[in-house]
């Protein structure tokens, strides 16, 4: 296994911009050479901008562990008590933002730390006490996230 095996076309990675972190963030790999060396050039894109970067500046952002089975058990228990879950964001709030179960998202917390990508597992109607309504496949699967903290990176699951 090589040290750059995580760098593949289509993967979502974190770029550590050497220019004092000016453009640090989540990017998708567009072009990668067949053999990656420390001085190889990798083309990445995000939000309409692109950059040519070295592989040493990229890092994976997915823990690789899934909590989906635990979530599904937790969800079934809540549904037995009358809780209702939905398969689309548009069913729980007035939005033009297309997001559904199975989509992959990047999560940015309130401290601007980036995590993911994670699979969207369910939606709930937000109540007055909280504004989170999106459940994602992470270690706090029972805690819903706010849509504005999520960036859709892949429709229909799988990267």
Give the dihedral sign, CA 142/80/105/3: positive
pLDDT for 79 beyond 80: yes
Exposed/middle/buried for 153, CB within 10 Å: 0-12, 13-18, 19+? Answer: middle
CA atoms within 13 A on the CB side of 49: 8
In angstroms, the CA 27 to CA 74 distance is 32
- Read off the pLDDT band of 158 (50, 70, 90): very low
The single residue listed with the structure tokens 């549904």 is 79
What does the DSSP 8-state code read for residue 144? Answer: P
Q: Which residue has the higher pLDDT, 89 or 117?
A: 89
Q: Enumerate the domain spans of the chain.
A: 12-60, 68-154
End-to-end CA distance of the chain: 20
Q: Which residue has the higher pLDDT, 94 or 47?
A: 94
Average pLDDT over residues 70-93: 94
Q: Which residue has the higher pLDDT, 82 or 139?
A: 82
**What kind of architecture, by CATH, is found in domain 68-154?**
Roll (2.30)
pLDDT for 132 beyond 60: yes
∠ CA 4-29-50, rounded to 5°: 130
Output the pTM of the full model: 0.65
pLDDT for 17 beyond 50: yes
CB atoms within 10 A of CB 43: 15
pLDDT for 159 beyond 60: no
Please give the pLDDT value at position 102: 93
In angstroms, the CA 7 to CA 16 distance is 14
The single residue listed with the structure tokens 């593949």 is 8
- Read off the pLDDT band of 37 (50, 70, 90): very high
pLDDT for 27 beyond 60: yes
Percent of the chain surpassing pLDDT 70: 94
């Amino acid at each position: 296994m090589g040290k750059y095996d995580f760098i593949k076309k289509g993967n979502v990675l974190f770029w550590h911009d050497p220019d004092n972190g000016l453009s640090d963030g989540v990017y998708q790999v567009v072009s990668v050479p067949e053999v990656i060396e420390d001085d190889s050039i990798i083309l990445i894109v995000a939000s309409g901008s692109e950059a040519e970067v070295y592989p040493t500046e990229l890092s994976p952002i997915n823990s690789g562990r899934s909590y989906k089975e635990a979530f599904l058990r937790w969800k079934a228990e809540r549904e037995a008590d009358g809780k209702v879950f939905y398969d689309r964001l548009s069913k729980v709030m007035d939005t033009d933002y297309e997001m559904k179960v199975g989509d992959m998202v990047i999560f940015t917390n309130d401290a601007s730390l980036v995590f993911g990508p994670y699979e969207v597992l369910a939606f709930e109607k937000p109540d007055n006490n909280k504004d989170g309504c999106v459940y994602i496949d992470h270690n706090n699967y029972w805690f819903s996230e706010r849509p504005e903290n999520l960036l859709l990176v892949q429709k229909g699951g799988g990267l």
